[in-house]
Amino acid sequence: MTLWFKRLRYHQRMRHVHASRIVAVGIAGALCLAFACQSGGPPEVRAERVVMVSYDSLGADLAWQWISDPTVSSPDGLAGMAQEGFSAERLRMVDPTLTAVNHISLAAGRNAAGTGVVSNSFHRQDTPITEWVSGFNASSDAETLWTAARRNGLRVGTLAWPGADAGALDRVGDFGVVWPGPPLARSELVEFDPEVAETTGEVPSNDGLAPLLWRLRFDLSSATPSNQELLIALVDADPNGRPRYDAVAVRLADEDDWGYVGEMEWVPVEFEARAEGDLRSHLYGAWCKVLHIDRFTGALRFYRGEINRLHAYPDAFEDRLTEAIGPWPGEPDRAVADWWLDLAQGIDLDTFIEQGERLDRYFDRMTEWVLAEEDADLLLAYHSSLDVYQHASLITEDLQWAYSPGRALAASEGLKRMGRSIDRSVASLWRALEPERDALVVVSDHGQIPIFEVVRPNRALADAGLVRVVEEDGRARVAPDTPMVAVTGGAFLHLYLNLAGREPGGVVTMAEAPELLRRAARVLADLEAEGRPAVEKIYTRGEAASVGLDHPSSGDLVVFLTPGFAADGGLDGPVLEPSRYYGQHGFLASHDEVCGVLFARGAGIKKKRFGEAEATSVAPMIARWLGFEFGDVPESKKGR
């Protein structure tokens, strides 16, 4: 047996090897657990470090299509993972195929019944019927990789991994990045009128055109400072004898230096602020873009992005990481992403994609910096940009509200561009690792399916007299004494009865429950659009064991929608209407389109392509590579 201790190159500090890990774990042994046992292969090795990165909504069919196109072709990217490591044609996810559910399952090796995270949002017994829990901020009933690894003496970092939100002791690593909450200020699109512009002598302008100056003040709510002012000057930067506005100079009012950009170029803005709830000041930032310059009139269309900061722990780690990579750039901006509707109201497709690419590069720099600067044995990293893109832009079918051949082609080309961004990300991570001793694992939580119709189950149930509604602040809301409520997520919903003796203030007796559930099931089963039923499957809680959802937090009815439909838990609007977004997940995991990916490379991993693997096999496999067994629930976790 050979232990691979030769160090060719590594990050600066010599790393302590824990005694519990001086165990060589054969790759064949690991694969026995997840797939099928094989003989032969390289010497038994251990992985000194494992990086598992999840690309949200990277469906298996989409990934393999990109590899075969080849949309992606880097020998260090997805194609290299497939050619030089092992891979599964499909990673079969757990039900429902939602982000919070499957990221916990990937990290805990259990289905939703085993983790208790039964949806992105769900209701818990013994709480009022209108109180719901976020699956992203819920502790797992089963131990996760990050807690098990730490219990075995390993050092773990979680980099925005869903479910590792640092909200409880079992949801933290030794260090980590936490998904940020709402931005300090929302984005805005501003049309600057030359008729109301000032001028300034601070910036030069050529060919007889005086600079046009505007002041963009944005409110920071209860933060300190409570607002910021951005100075925006339009100039003629090219002394070619033709007076044309062609460049924009930008600076904060309390700074001296101007930054110059042209049309369709980005400029970052950064400043210190202390938001409400912050214990100290942090570096906040926004990415801004010049969307259009009218070169003759001086009219200017300007996008000011969301204002965000990096959230990480402990404080010293956050400070060092922020200094290295800057503040959080934000996701692609769904609020103004209506590029297929009216460019006067939203941003264009290129701008939307550039935001996704920027976020991918930000996550790449984050992971590379951590690998170089932190002593970590296990890193769990996450990318969301592909998920955001597909929700907004999976335009493929003529039933979709925004469909046209041209829009479908533009959306398809944009999707390929997102694929190249992911490929670049995989390649950058691979190059940051030591192949002889490290392992890179690429996974995802689900794929997406095109949708054309939105269903509002609570509206349908309210119209049938099964959900009680009250008006609050001019909006319809579910009443505390409602007989039932549907809690939705993607193409999925839990329907909960407000059961007396189970929910505080419950109004439904055990004798009434069966008939109410039958009535609710009939209302939902009768929903249809374009000749298609909206609901694919309805399970009682007892029947839900067949899809891994037999948990006390599951609904009294568990409902999966038919591909093409998505659920909206709100009450405002009709029961059914054309969807204004175009991709969704949450469908039954038996649909191949929502299967995820599994690729692994490094640390002696053999070349092998498997037909299908289960999402619950990933965590035990990684644990074995790191030198410990995984899957037994500690006594402290039992009975939760």
pLDDT of 26 reads 37
Burial 374-410 (b: 16+ CB within 10 A, else e): bebbbbbbbbbbbbbbbbbbbbbeebbbbbeeebbeb
pLDDT of 337 reads 61
pLDDT of 340 reads 54
Say if residues 25 and 45 touch (Cβ distance below 8 Å): yes
pLDDT of 473 reads 86
Distances (CA, A) of 533 to 44, 108, 441, 541, 561: 53, 35, 39, 22, 9
Give Rg (Cα) of the chain.
26
Say if residues 608 and 83 touch (Cβ distance below 8 Å): no
Using the 8-state DSSP alphabet, how is residue 25 labeled? B
**Six-digit token string for 510:** 């055990």
Indicate the CATH number of 453-578 among 3.30.530, 3.30.1360, 3.40.50, 3.30.450: 3.30.1360
Give the CA angle between residues 506, 512, 515 to the nearest 5°: 125
Chain centroid, CA 104 distance in Å: 13
Sign of dihedral through CA atoms 262, 266, 272, 278? positive
Residues 6 or more apart whose Cβ sits within 8 Å of residue 194: 212, 234, 297, 298, 299, 300
First-to-last C-alpha distance (Å) of the chain: 42
pLDDT of 1 reads 26
pLDDT of 41 reads 30
Cα–Cα distance, 245 to 528 (Å, whole number): 54
pLDDT of 43 reads 31
Cα–Cα distance, 117 to 136 (Å, whole number): 9
pLDDT of 37 reads 40
pLDDT of 339 reads 56
Residue 535, Cβ density class (10 Å: 0-12 exposed, 13-18 middle, ≥19 buried): buried
pLDDT of 45 reads 43
Q: How many CB atoms lie within 10 A of CB 199?
A: 12
Summarised one tens digit per residue, pLDDT across range 342-387 is 555 678 899 999 999 999 999 999 999 999 999 999 999 999 999 9
Query: What is the side-by-side strand order in the sheet with 247-252?
Result: 212-219, 227-235, 247-252, 259-261
As a residue count, the chain comes to 640
Phi first, then psi, for residue 441 (nearest 5°) are -120, 125
With a cut of 50, which residues of the chain have pLDDT below it? Answer: 1-45, 633-640
Cα–Cα distance, 46 to 581 (Å, whole number): 45
Chain centroid, CA 468 distance in Å: 33
pLDDT of 224 reads 95
pLDDT of 239 reads 96
Domain boundaries, the chain: 49-117+137-180+310-447+582-615, 185-309, 453-578
Pairing relation of β-strands 469-472 and 438-443? unpaired
Domain 49-117+137-180+310-447+582-615 sits in which CATH superfamily? Alkaline Phosphatase, subunit A (3.40.720.10)
Counts of helices then strands in the chain (DSSP H, E) = 13, 32
pLDDT of 42 reads 28
pLDDT of 335 reads 76
Helix, coil or strand: residue 44: coil
Model pTM above 0.85? yes
Same fold, 49-117+137-180+310-447+582-615 and 453-578: no
E strands in 337-416 = 378-383
Say if residues 312 and 367 touch (Cβ distance below 8 Å): no
Summarised one tens digit per residue, pLDDT across range 48-105 is 999 999 999 999 999 999 999 999 999 999 999 999 999 999 999 999 999 999 999 9
Chain centroid, CA 78 distance in Å: 20
